[in-house]
Amino acid sequence: MSNAVANIVADEKIREKDNEKSILLSMSNDLAGVRMTTDLYKVLDQRLRSLFSYSHFMLARVTEDGNSLSAMILDPRSKNKIHPDYQDFVSTKIPINDGFFNVAFETGRPVLYHLGDIINRTDLPGHVRMSYSSGIKEMILIGLSNGQRRTGMLGIFTEESNKIKAEHINLLHGISSQLATGVANILANEKIEQQVLEISNFKKQLEVENLYLQEEIQTTNNYSEIVGNSTALRDVFRLVSSVAPTSSSVLILGETGTGKELVARAIHNSSPRKGKLMVKVNCATLPANLIESELFGHEKGSFTGATDKRIGKFELANNSTLFLDEIGEMPLELQVKLLRALQEKEIERVGGRTVIKTDVRIIAATNRDLEKEVSLGNFRSDLFFRLNVFPVFIPPLRERREDIPLLAAHFLAKHSKKAGKKVIGFSAKVIKALGAYSWPGNVRELEHLIERSILLTSQQLITQLQLPSAEKDGLESYLATGDFRTIDDVEREHIMYVLNACKGKVAGPGGAAEALKIPSTTLNSKMKRLGIKKEYLQE
Ligand SMILES: Nc1ncnc2c1ncn2[C@@H]1O[C@H](COP(=O)(O)OP(=O)(O)OP(=O)(O)O)[C@@H](O)[C@H]1O
């Protein structure tokens, strides 16, 4: 070689080296700024294509266990895409120890394979066969390690032989550590984003639960007292205190507004579960399709709108009490699921596969006649029997009128304080009217009426009652006047009339009992109850 030629060759080599250096430098710069896989794809595709012509590349990440690879960037131009094994290959973990990937890691340099030369090897892994049958001639594998830690694997594939030259291998080796750092950055970034997402989901969930618990606390405070001293209510108290310490299901029956929720809270608050809040679900206020997820929770994406995982009320009530209000409104298909949850003591979230053990005490309430609903086929008999192990019936207010004065005084104190007014009592006429009204809305109606009356009055005494539809309903306005006789009044008058006619004789022939066609013992007890004493009789 002449000196001149030697100089030209040397110059050429220097230029190549300079070119190599500048490629390496600009690629390093590009890689250092990469934070997302889509950016990495663009950088790699652009830079690699400026080096040599190739068919496609593939970047895989090393999985957490360090033993396998999973796809990270799939080149849309991959020749393997039409191969029947492609989907399996890109969606499953591929072991590193396959005689190819591990070699690329162990040698610490890019390893070039001419597939035509190795295709007859008996130990070839599936992915190499797939590439070969898709027309790939050369494959270069570059193991990416960040210090001692393996992070990923870059594979570049050509459709023509001898496309990858020694200088390309050098260049690829030169960028491998930057690329490994880029991959590690992306993985760390993804992990952080995932954690941020999880934290924000948890935060949202906690906010929802917190809101719910706040409401519960407020409700609990409102319902801290059951007022009343009637025999009927005392019977309820007896039942409450005998069932509270157990874990037995309770079914509370009664018309609307009789205090079923109050009694449910009383049971929970006197039970060993009182340290946790009672959780309430109103089966009537939720659309049928949402009750299931409300009760059992759901996994993210289990149905349209399920954007986040949600814990159901059953799980929330673990080790506590779940109050199922208006149980009679529960759709039949959900009744089966509820029954299963009660029997098995475990639940599954909607769209979830894992079974979650729960220890939940159920208190259900309804104003419907559940037995009738069973006979009409609207309520499952097996669920009814399961819930009805301990029924508690709360009589309507009109059947325990003795409670009205106490309740009225209680609500007067409560709402006059709330309204900041000094209202201290009711006029005699109002007390009479309160005692006479039929209270179809029970205690709730009484409370609302008193609250409204306090707001309307400008005096210290409530002298006017705004009984609902008093003008419209003749009977109710009659009742509201308080100017009418009760059954007791009528009975008392009639007994006294007959007793007078019998000259005060109660028992025996010619006595009042005989005339009234009732046993004398019954007449005596009636007289006692109605406060009829002999001395009241006319001479
Ligand atoms: N004995 C009582 N003492 C004090 N307040 C009562 C009593 N009974 C009911 N209340 C009050 O009346 C209102 C209605 O009570 P609650 O919600 O418990 O009735 P409910 O039977 O569960 O009604 P619904 O069937 O409509 O759900 C509440 O504000 C409650 O505090």
Shared-domain flag, residues 160 and 58: yes
Ligand 1 contact, 442 CB (< 6 A): no
Lowest-pLDDT range of 233-237, 320-324, 501-505 = 501-505
Across the range 281-308, mean pLDDT stands at: 77
Q: Are 37 and 152 in contact (CB under 8 A)?
A: no
Shared-domain flag, residues 244 and 390: yes
pLDDT value of residue 470 = 45
pLDDT value of residue 539 = 45
On whether residue 493 sits in a domain, the answer given is yes
> For residue range 328-373, what is the model confidence (pLDDT) as tens digits?
999 888 898 899 989 988 888 877 778 888 899 999 999 999 999 8
Helix (H, G, I), strand (E, B) or coil at 262: helix
Average pLDDT, the chain: 86
Measuring from atom 5 of ligand 1, which residue has the nearest CA? 226
Helix (H, G, I), strand (E, B) or coil at 121: coil
Backbone angles phi, psi at 223, to 5 degrees: -105, 35
Shared-domain flag, residues 460 and 388: no
| Enclosing domain of residue 325 | 223-395
Give the C-alpha separation, 174 to 181, whole Å: 13
Gap from CA of 443 to ligand 1 centroid (Å)? 6
Number of domains in the chain: 4
Among the listed residues 76, 54, 80, the one whose alpha carbon sits nearest the alpha carbon of residue 132? 80
Shared-domain flag, residues 57 and 170: yes
301 pLDDT exceeds 90? no
Ligand 1 contact, 444 CB (< 6 A): yes
Gap from CA of 261 to ligand 1 centroid (Å)? 6
On whether residue 521 sits in a domain, the answer given is yes
Atom of ligand 1 nearest to the CA of 403: 1
On whether residue 427 sits in a domain, the answer given is yes
> For residue range 141-175, what is the model confidence (pLDDT) as tens digits?
999 998 888 999 999 999 998 888 888 888 889 88
On whether residue 523 sits in a domain, the answer given is yes
Shared-domain flag, residues 93 and 35: yes
Measuring from atom 8 of ligand 1, which residue has the nearest CA? 259
pLDDT value of residue 136 = 94
On whether residue 353 sits in a domain, the answer given is yes
Gap from CA of 389 to ligand 1 centroid (Å)? 23
Measuring from atom 16 of ligand 1, which residue has the nearest CA? 259
pLDDT value of residue 326 = 93
pLDDT value of residue 34 = 82
pLDDT value of residue 334 = 87
pLDDT value of residue 4 = 74
Shared-domain flag, residues 384 and 247: yes
Ligand 1 contact, 396 CB (< 6 A): no
> For residue range 473-514, what is the model confidence (pLDDT) as tens digits?
556 555 655 556 678 878 887 888 888 888 888 899 999 999
Ligand 1 contact, 258 CB (< 6 A): yes
Measuring from atom 15 of ligand 1, which residue has the nearest CA? 259
Query: Among 183-187, 320-324, 429-433, which range has the highest average pLDDT?
Result: 320-324
Q: Give the DSSP letter string of 470-498.
A: TTT-HHHHHHHHT-S--HHHHHHHHHHHH
> For residue range 166-224, what is the model confidence (pLDDT) as tens digits?
888 888 898 888 888 888 888 888 888 889 988 888 888 787 777 777 666 655 544 35
Across the range 448-465, mean pLDDT stands at: 89
pLDDT value of residue 224 = 54
Lowest-pLDDT range of 113-122, 499-508, 528-537 = 528-537
Atom of ligand 1 nearest to the CA of 446: 12
On whether residue 475 sits in a domain, the answer given is yes
pLDDT greater at residue 479 or residue 410: 410
For residue 109, what is the domain's CATH number?
3.30.450.40
Please state, for a pLDDT cut of 90, what percent of the chain lies above it: 38
Gap from CA of 254 to ligand 1 centroid (Å)? 11
User: ipTM of this complex > 0.95?
Assistant: yes
pLDDT value of residue 39 = 86
On whether residue 403 sits in a domain, the answer given is yes
Q: Are 485 and 476 in contact (CB under 8 A)?
A: no
Gap from CA of 183 to ligand 1 centroid (Å)? 63
pLDDT value of residue 446 = 95
Ligand 1 contact, 367 CB (< 6 A): yes
Across the range 138-143, mean pLDDT stands at: 95
Measuring from atom 23 of ligand 1, which residue has the nearest CA? 257
pLDDT value of residue 215 = 62
On whether residue 433 sits in a domain, the answer given is yes
Give the C-alpha separation, 281 to 324, whole Å: 5
pLDDT value of residue 304 = 63
Across the range 309-325, mean pLDDT stands at: 89
Shared-domain flag, residues 36 and 161: yes
CB-based contacts of 122, cutoff 8 Å, min separation 6? none
Shared-domain flag, residues 237 and 283: yes
Shared-domain flag, residues 372 and 404: no
Ligand 1 contact, 220 CB (< 6 A): no
Among the listed residues 224, 200, 220, the one whose alpha carbon sits nearest the alpha carbon of residue 212? 220
Give the C-alpha separation, 93 to 76, whole Å: 20
Across the range 7-13, mean pLDDT stands at: 77
Shared-domain flag, residues 306 and 416: no
104 pLDDT exceeds 90? yes
Shared-domain flag, residues 419 and 300: no
Atom of ligand 1 nearest to the CA of 282: 27
With cut-offs at 50, 70 and 90, classify the pLDDT of residue 288.
confident
